[in-house]
Every structure is written in C-alpha cells, then in structure tokens.
Structure 1
Amino acid sequence: MRIQIAGLDLVILAVYLIGIVALGCLAGVWRKKNSSGDGESYFLAGGSLKWPMIGLALFSTNISTVHLVSLAEEGYKNGLAYGNFEWMAPFTLIILALFFAPFYIRSKVATLPDFLERRYSKGSRNWLSGLSIISAIFIHIGFSLYAGAIVLEGLFGIPLMYSIIGIAVLTGVYTMIGGLMAVVLTESVQTVVLLIGAIVLTGIALVKVGGWSGLTETVDPHMFSVLRPKGDPSGLPWYSILLGYPITGIWYWCTDQTIVQRVLGAKDEQQARLGPLFAGFLKILPVFIFVLPGLIAQALIMQGKLPAIEKSADVYSVMITHLLPVGLKGLIAAALMAALMSTVSGALNSAATLFSYDLYKQWKPETTEKKLISIGRIVTIVGMVLAICVAPFLGRYPTIFQGINAAICYISPPITAVFVFGVFWKKASSFGSFTTLVIGSALGFVVFGLDFYKEQTGWNIPFMMSGFYLFCICAVIMVTASLMKPEELTEEKAALVWNHPLDALRAPGLPGFGNYKMLSAVLFVVMIILYTIFH
C-alpha cells in the first residue's frame, strides 16, 4: 500500500530533513566555539547534559522506524502482547538509575568497556569493545536502516538502496560534525516530532473507531492482555517475558554503549539518575501510540471503516493513507524519518567513541585530543559504509522485530552477567569476567546459528527463553571461574561494587519531585498498576 503524498506533505518532509541536519551541524559549530575542543566535548558533550535531554535522547535512540511499523503490525495480529517490550523497560531503567549510573559517573569513564577495565581487566575491556562495535553497526544501525528503507519503499516508492544510502549520509553528516551534542540535541527534537506524529494518528483512529468503548466492544477482550498463557499464538508466554526480558533489558538499557552514552555525558550524578527515570515514564506511551493503533486498525476493519489488509505489515501505511488528511501525512513521514535518524546517529556516535577511546587510544596513548576527534569522524564514515553494505542482507529474517530481538538475546547474556556480578559481588574476578565473555559469546553464536537454520536443526526454543538459559550458563561460568582463580579487590575496584544493594539509596536526592528515590518508587508503582489493569 503506497501513500499518495501531496505537495504540502513533501514540503513538510523536506523542511524537516533540512532543518534537522542544519540543527545538528549548528550544534557542532556551537560545541567548537564554546569548548576546549577536547575529546570529551565531542564524544560526551563535555559532561553537560541534563535530565530532560538525557531522557528524550534515551527514548529517541531506542525508538526506530521498526517500532512504529512492526509494533503496529504486532498490535494488529496479537493485540497488546508485544507491549511487554515497552513496559518492561521502565523496570530496567530504574535499575540503571539506582545501581549503574552512579558508578559510571563516579568513575568518570568515557565508555562502558573502560568501566569494565577498571572493575576487571584490559582483556574484558577489549572483548566488550569489539562486541559493542559489532552490535552498534549490525543491530542498531543495520537493522534500523533496513527496516526504515522497507517502510519508505512501501509508503513512498523510494527504492531500497536509495533510502539506505540517503538516510545514512544525511545522519552521518551531522553526527560526524557535531558529535554527541548534535546527536542528543537532534534526538530531543526528533522525540517531540515522533510523539506528536504517533499521538495524532492514534487519536484520529480512536475517534474513528468510536472511542475506547467502541474499541473494546469490537475486538476480543483477550487482545488487551499483555500477559499471555503458554501456547498463546503471540509466542510470548508470560514466563518468557518475566525470565528473558531482564537479561536483554539490563544489557540494552544498562550496559550498551549506544544507549548509555547519553548517561555518561550527564552533568552530574543527579542528572544521570533522573534522565533514565524520565525515559522510563516516556516508555509508558509506546503501548498506547505504537501497539494500540494496530489493534484499532483491526477494529476499524471489523466495523467496515478500513479496507481489508492483505499483508499485516501494511497496517500502518493503510491507516496513514485512509485516516490522515493532507499535511498530516507529511508529519507522520517526518516522524518515521525521526525515528530512523535518531537511532542511526546515536549508534554511529557510539561506535566512533568505542573505537577512538577503547582501541585506538589504547594502541597509541600519546594521541592528541584533536587527532582522537578526527579518528572518531573517520570511524563514523566507515561505520556508515559498513552498515549500508550489511543492511540489505538482514531481510532474511521472518520479521525485522524478531530479528532484532533474537540477535539481542544471543549477544546480551555474557555481558549482563559480568556487569551484574561486577557491581553486586565482590568476589567476581578478572578471570571470571573474561572467561564468561569469551565462552558466553561463543555459545551465543552457536545458538544463533541453530536458531537461524531452525528448519534444518529442529531448534524450537523461543528466543527469549534462549537468552535466559544462556544467562544461567554464563552465571555458573562466572561464579565457578571467579572462585577457581580469585583476586584481591583493590581500593579502586572496591569503589565500583555495592556493599549492600540498599547503599544505592543512601545518596541524597534533589528536593521535591526531583528526588530520584521518589520518582523510582512512583514509576515502579505506576508500572505495577498498568500490568494489573492489562494483565
């Protein structure tokens, strides 16, 4: 289903693209004028970010075009079941705010592999650097470019490779020039555009279906449940979410450089805590503005107000075509571009930071800050080219959403294990960390192969449960290897381990609504209430 886009819509889309690239470039000029020109100002925005920008950037980097389109498709097919991927995120963002962010800021690290070296060893740092660069290029950039190109081809008829190259180049330009400040500033704007576009489409669709009562009277009540039993057609039984999501969620929200880099650029520890909590509240919205529209589309079809859909992947484009007037179609197109560009820009900046700080500077420690920025810009270009080359081959997965989550389930378990044990268990050793990373990564690669060729291998374990089982194995390896080859905890390493989990709550917070303890409790209670209502 291709959108018949009018001249006004094209003008809105063109103005948005020109404006966002210009804004990113201007951020780079501002950074150059108002900083010392050092690496920290380029890669970490000079440690100046406050909680609103951190929260908006976390949300924007997470939400890609695949979320808008694939979550609507899942809503159309399975109701709110896949909303778990959004509503479980606030719980892990609370973990980031309480337990991980304080250590990241106190240790003044530029990258998470740098943190891993301070807690464990250089070997762990190098291994995580490689894994993080691979995940940034393949998972964050490659999948996003491919998904975005598929959407743009389906909606506007733009050839696949034209979209991939065009978006990569436009995003790469302002990311390369402006660094993290440009990324975060543009992501803040893109989050607003994305939310407005999605809310407008959801609102119009909800009015068309007869409001909430019209929706609930039309579709099966089971479709509103997020916690499904074993054997449910969605393929997401409640226990797979409860056991599997924390593994992938902690990796994604607490230990992945592409996401956490916004927290590393925080002005201080309070801002580093509040930013993720703000993002946690924002993550409540996607179930209602990304997943719910697909369910509304099902109701509209049942009511005869939308034409029947041949392919479920077309549900978002059908809604845009039949529900939105001229002008608003351009706004939705801008929202789709915002989701794509924000994810790509964040991952490009992350890959550049990882290579420059964790690999190049380690190889040549005498490298000047100016040279480091130049290296980062070269890596941005190389990463962009690699992602362009890889993106077309990612179409081998049954669905993009499935492909992304499967890949995360196989790469995350060993990383989650070494970080969790690292900050909560004093006996976790360098040998245990490196052994877990190497063996866990190898096992993940093997399981990935078994799952990818499941027709030949007969592999039938759901990817979420595979991630949980892999984590259990990694935990055993971590404990066993650490006890086999223990090491004395130095003063520097001891400062990166909680003596007791409740110590994370001892730091004073800001007064009133800015108190991280109160906000964490409110967010937790709100999520429990939502799960109670939509169980």
Structure 2
Amino acid sequence: MIATVDIIISSCYVAFIVLLGFWAGLSGKKDQSQANQYFLAGKSLRWPMIGMALFATNISCLHLVSLAQSGFDTGLISGNFEWMASFTLILLAIFFVPFYIRSGVATLPDFLERRYNRACRDWLAVVSVVSAIIIHIAFSFLAGGIVLETLFGINMFTSIILIAIVTGAYTIIGGLRAVVITESVQTIVLLTGAVIITILSWIKVGGWQPMVQVLQEHQQMDKLSMLRPAGDPSQLPWYAVFLGYPVLGIWYWCADQTIVQRVLGAKDENQARTGVLFCGFIKILPVFIFILPGLFAYVLYKQGALDLSGLQQAGTDGLNTKGIYSLMITKLVPSGLVGVLVAALLSGLMSQISGALNAIAALVSYDLYKRMKPAATDKQLVQTGRIGASLALLVAIALLPLLNKYESLFNGINDIIAHIAPPITCVFLLGVFWKKASARAAQYTLWIGSALGTVVYIISKVFPASLIGTVPFMMMTFYLFCACVLLQVILSYKYPVVHTVVSDKLYWSHPLAAFEIKGWPGIANYKVLSAILLLVMVLLYWYFR
C-alpha cells in the first residue's frame, strides 16, 4: 500500500487530466457537433503534438508493466518491438503519409475503399474496431487493474470501471482534440516517471558494471543482447525479428486507425511526416526506461537487495512477475515520488484508451453508420461515434477474464496481433507499391487471410504441441504474410485491376518516386530526419547485437 501523500498526488493528476480533456474538447474554435472537428481536430495538428500523441497512444500502462516484466524475465530482447518500430515509422513518413493526407480521408478503411473497393473498407472497419477493443483497450485495462490492485489494494474490476468512467468521459465528449492535448501532457508525465524509476534502480544496482558482473556470475549475459540465435528460449531469434516484425509493425503503425488517426489530423503533409519521425526518435527510449528497470530488478533480486516474496505464486516455487513494476515502485521509490510514478502509469493507461475510443468512434460513424445512412448529418455522426465508443468500453471489460489467462501480457498482445496483421499489411503494401493490385484480389485476400490467421491461432492454442503450435509466433506471422502476398498476386492476375480516377493516384509509380517530394528545407526535411534516424538505429543494434 502507498502513502496518503501519493494517493493525493495521483488523484490530483487524474482530476487535472479530466479537466484538461473537457477544456480541450469543448473550447475549440469550431463546434464539436462538426464531424471533422470531433474526429480529426479540424486537421490542425502540428508535428510536436502528432509525435507525442503517437507515442502516448502506443505506450500504455500495459507497456510499463509488461516491458518491465520482460526485462526481468528475458532481458532486453523485447526491446525489438520498440526499436523496430522506428524503421516502420520511417516507412509511414515516406511512403504512406502522402497518400493519407492528399486523399483527405478520415479513416484508413476509407482509404482502402478509394484504392480498392467498398468490401475492403467494410472488412477493415470491422477488424479495426475489434482489434482496438481487444488490443488497445482490454489489455490496457488488464495491466492497469493489476497495478492499481497491487498498489492500492482496490479490486481489479472496480479500478477498471473507475478508469473507464473518467477516461471515457472526456474522450467521448471532447473528441480528437481532447485526446491529443491530454496525450501530449501524459507523454511528458509518463517519460518523467519512467526516468525516475530507471535512475533510482540504477543507483541501487550501482551502475552498469556491477549489473554486468552479476549477469556474468549467473551466466545471463544474453539478457543484454537484442539479437538472439536460433533456439533461444525467448522465441525471438534475430531472423524472426527481422522477418516477422515488419509485418506486425506495418499493420500497427501504418494501417491501424487507432495509431494513424493522429496523422490524419495533421495540418499538412510536412507536419504529419515530421511528427511521425519525431515519434520514431522517442521510440528509442523505452528500451532504457521501460525494459532496463526490469533487468535492474532481476540484478537486485540476485544481489539479495530486492525482496520478491510478494510475487510468490501460491503452491509453487515460481514468481508471478506480472507485478514486478508495481513492486519496484513500492520498494525502491520514496514517498512523494511514488505518486508521480502512479501518475505516469495512469498516463499510459488513459492515453491509450482515449486514443482507441476516438478511433472506434470514427470507424463506427464513418465506415459503418454512414454507409447505412449516407445522408447522416454531422451531429448524427458524432452522436453515433459517442455511442459506439461507450459500447466498446463495456465489451472490453467483458473480455478481461479471458485475456488474463496469458502469463505475459506483452507476449499475449503480440500473439494476437501476429494473426491479425498479415492480410492487412499485405493489401496496404501491394496497394501502395504495385499498380496491378486489384480490388477483388485485395477483398479475397482480406477474407481468406483473416480466416487463415484465425484457424492457425485456434490450432496453436488447442494443440500447442502440433507443428503449428511449435512455430514461434513471429515466424508464423511471416509465413502467413507470404501466403497472403502469393494469394493477392495470383488473384490480381485472375481478376485484373480496373483503376478509377481516384485509385489511379494512390500508388507509387516506382519506390523512389516518394523521395521526389521536396519537403521542408534543412535538417527538418523528412529525408534528412529519416537518414539520421536510420543511422542511429543501425548503430544501436550494432552495439547491443
């Protein structure tokens, strides 16, 4: 349990964010009944807000909790999901942003209809809503509930309902402007809290060299490696990371409405591209401030300086390491700063949930409701979006008992993404880079690829000892992607493309055509920023290979 002063700090922070959200959403220049303002912030977002909002929507309480758990259990290896994101964000900035901004779409299913057909839009809309509920809301609720139960002794479901009420209130009423402004503040608080616990655990361990010495003594030096050999217990060998992650990453960062909606609200193309690349630089930090503290906790445990008896599983000799981050807060952080750390956890939780709710509202309104009622007014669209977001909260809460069965929340979320992403990544990539990618081929690829991913997921869970069940999920993602590409290519020749006036402008004539756009002058130019980010990532991987 934490001290009264920390409870006061945490409560004041939550109250501040809620008030800020209401103010941001209701004080805009335009009426919130206007759909463009509610869902896309009137297309007024600049690059700092876009970058911080992208990061905040991506990094939730789930990441703080599960990445610390991964750091304790397996070392830095899970950091690949953070660092590989930077490469994917470069792809988003260079190749996808121009089409998204120029086409003026409000949702990514809308873009898919313009490039292919209405059936593709409908399918992606449904999948996007379902994935947002499960991945961005339900898993975040689960992580937040575990933390608050550990710290405050509040029943997990009670705390989740309270979070749902306060976050849902300002998000559903205020729209994207409220989401982005609160996320910008929450990113700063989240990073501050993470840096605090990293510094405190670093001091407690004694620095880098003492940590290395402990790892050497226990033959655990591989915990510092980001690139592991074949057969590694983490099931993330280097080739699986470089083959499988791009499939996950392109879906998540380039084709997922919850994430990309911040980009769609950009003032212009340059603001969007710079904001995306800014997020790519911020994504370097999680390895050092989210995962490394978990590794420090492992070292402290081996040194006998951190008591983990509170994580002992009843009737076993093992530890339930899901609560390692909460335990570090209570054991390593002095009173007063604990409140800041709890505020950081709440920041991550609230920001991802708010972002997902706004994305769901946009999808339900534009891609589902407006199809049934093409003449719907802006007021009706906003009202429908609010109802859809409210229902999404209830469904997410109902899914919690099922998702809680995963031993590692981070592995759980990526396991689900691995079976959703391949067909969506396939149709977006081929749609943007291949002129001959046809509408009917994309439609069938989405249907068949999604069905195949579902079957493979069920088999891997029901028969874990089978051939499918023993394939690392990252490699399974790559295999499913290859099957989808082969399927779409074959079908595109069977059902040749017939371009419309709109679709004929939504693909690159050749890959280098994207670099012909000038962009801002100097170091702010997207090509310069992309080159710098790429160089930094290569150097980091070389050092932690």
TM range (shorter): over 0.9
2:6 to 4, 9, 15: 9
What is the DSSP-based 3-state SS (H/G/I as helix, E as strand, rest coil) of the residue aligned with 1:396?
coil
1: CA distance, partners of 2:209 / 2:521? 41
1:404 to 400, 403, 413: 413
- 2:307 partner letter: P
1:26 aligns with 2:23: yes
5+ residue gaps in structure 1?
none
1: CA distance, partners of 2:499 / 2:235? 44
- Pairwise CA distance, 1:453: 1.8
- Pairwise CA distance, 1:308: 4.3
1:244 aligns with 2:254: no
1:300-355 CA-partner distances (Å, limit 9, x unpaired): 22333222454222321222122111111111111111111111111111111001
- Paired position in structure 2 for 1:108: 104
- 1:335 partner letter: A
- Paired position in structure 2 for 1:224: 224
- Paired position in structure 1 for 2:265: 265
- Paired position in structure 1 for 2:533: 523
1:163 aligns with 2:159: yes
- Paired position in structure 2 for 1:481: 491
- Pairwise CA distance, 1:139: 1.5
1:285-313 CA-partner distances (Å, limit 9, x unpaired): 00000110111112222333222454222
Structural RMSD (CA): 1.3
Stretch deviating more after TM superposition (506-515 or 83-92): 506-515
- Paired position in structure 2 for 1:318: 327
- Paired position in structure 2 for 1:383: 392
2: CA distance, partners of 1:36 / 1:173? 15
- Paired position in structure 1 for 2:192: 196
- Pairwise CA distance, 1:27: 1.0
2: CA distance, partners of 1:269 / 1:260? 13
- Pairwise CA distance, 1:457: 5.0
1: CA distance, partners of 2:24 / 2:168? 14
TM-score (norm 1): 0.97
- Pairwise CA distance, 1:6: 0.8
2: CA distance, partners of 1:147 / 1:457? 30
- Paired position in structure 2 for 1:128: 124
1:356-414 CA-partner distances (Å, limit 9, x unpaired): 00111111111111111111111111111111222232112232112100110000000
2:372 to 354, 363, 368: 363
What is the DSSP-based 3-state SS (H/G/I as helix, E as strand, rest coil) of the residue aligned with 1:491?
coil
Question: Residues 26 and 32 of structure 2 are in contact (CA less than 8 Å); yes or no, is this contact kept in structure 1?
Answer: no
- Pairwise CA distance, 1:456: 7.1
Superposition map of 1:166-177 within 5 A:
166-177=162-173
Question: Residues 454 and 460 of structure 1 are in contact (CA less than 8 Å); yes or no, is this contact kept in structure 2?
Answer: no
1: CA distance, partners of 2:123 / 2:155? 37
1:32-56 CA-partner distances (Å, limit 9, x unpaired): x445741010000000001111110
Question: Residues 171 and 354 of structure 2 are in contact (CA less than 8 Å); yes or no, is this contact kept in structure 1?
Answer: yes
Question: Residues 25 and 32 of structure 2 are in contact (CA less than 8 Å); yes or no, is this contact kept in structure 1?
Answer: no
Question: Residues 441 and 489 of structure 2 are in contact (CA less than 8 Å); yes or no, is this contact kept in structure 1?
Answer: yes
2: CA distance, partners of 1:244 / 1:372? 38
1: CA distance, partners of 2:455 / 2:278? 38
Question: Residues 90 and 280 of structure 1 are in contact (CA less than 8 Å); yes or no, is this contact kept in structure 2?
Answer: yes
- 1:157 partner letter: G
2: CA distance, partners of 1:128 / 1:9? 43
Question: Residues 255 and 416 of structure 1 are in contact (CA less than 8 Å); yes or no, is this contact kept in structure 2?
Answer: yes
What is the DSSP-based 3-state SS (H/G/I as helix, E as strand, rest coil) of the residue aligned with 2:383?
helix
1: CA distance, partners of 2:541 / 2:465? 38
- 1:422 partner letter: G
- Paired position in structure 2 for 1:98: 94
- 2:324 partner letter: V
- 2:517 partner letter: A
- Paired position in structure 2 for 1:494: 504
- Pairwise CA distance, 1:271: 0.8
- 1:273 partner letter: R
2: CA distance, partners of 1:38 / 1:318? 46
1:63 aligns with 2:73: no
- 1:266 partner letter: A
Question: Residues 43 and 179 of structure 1 are in contact (CA less than 8 Å); yes or no, is this contact kept in structure 2?
Answer: yes
1:103-138 CA-partner distances (Å, limit 9, x unpaired): 000000000000000000001111111111111111
Question: Residues 509 and 515 of structure 1 are in contact (CA less than 8 Å); yes or no, is this contact kept in structure 2?
Answer: yes
What is the DSSP-based 3-state SS (H/G/I as helix, E as strand, rest coil) of the residue aligned with 1:490?
coil
- Pairwise CA distance, 1:227: 0.1
1: CA distance, partners of 2:30 / 2:131? 33
5+ residue gaps in structure 2?
313-318
Question: Residues 438 and 495 of structure 2 are in contact (CA less than 8 Å); yes or no, is this contact kept in structure 1?
Answer: yes
- 1:441 partner letter: S
Stretch deviating more after TM superposition (194-203 or 151-160): 151-160
Question: Residues 39 and 176 of structure 2 are in contact (CA less than 8 Å); yes or no, is this contact kept in structure 1?
Answer: yes
2: CA distance, partners of 1:66 / 1:374? 30
What is the DSSP-based 3-state SS (H/G/I as helix, E as strand, rest coil) of the residue aligned with 1:360?
helix
2: CA distance, partners of 1:43 / 1:270? 21
- Paired position in structure 1 for 2:449: 440
| Residues 441/36 of structure 1: CA separation in 2 closer, same or farther (3 Å cut) | closer
| Residues 301/423 of structure 1: CA separation in 2 closer, same or farther (3 Å cut) | same
1: CA distance, partners of 2:397 / 2:235? 31
Question: Residues 109 and 367 of structure 2 are in contact (CA less than 8 Å); yes or no, is this contact kept in structure 1?
Answer: yes
2:50 to 42, 47, 54: 54
Stretch deviating more after TM superposition (174-183 or 64-73): 64-73
Stretch deviating more after TM superposition (352-361 or 35-44): 35-44
Question: Residues 57 and 262 of structure 1 are in contact (CA less than 8 Å); yes or no, is this contact kept in structure 2?
Answer: yes
Q: For this pair of structures, how many residues does the alignment match?
A: 531
2: CA distance, partners of 1:193 / 1:393? 31
1: CA distance, partners of 2:86 / 2:463? 33
- Paired position in structure 1 for 2:235: 235
What is the DSSP-based 3-state SS (H/G/I as helix, E as strand, rest coil) of the residue aligned with 1:79?
helix
1:503 aligns with 2:499: no
2: CA distance, partners of 1:253 / 1:433? 20
- Paired position in structure 1 for 2:315: none
Question: Residues 97 and 273 of structure 1 are in contact (CA less than 8 Å); yes or no, is this contact kept in structure 2?
Answer: yes
1:341 aligns with 2:361: no
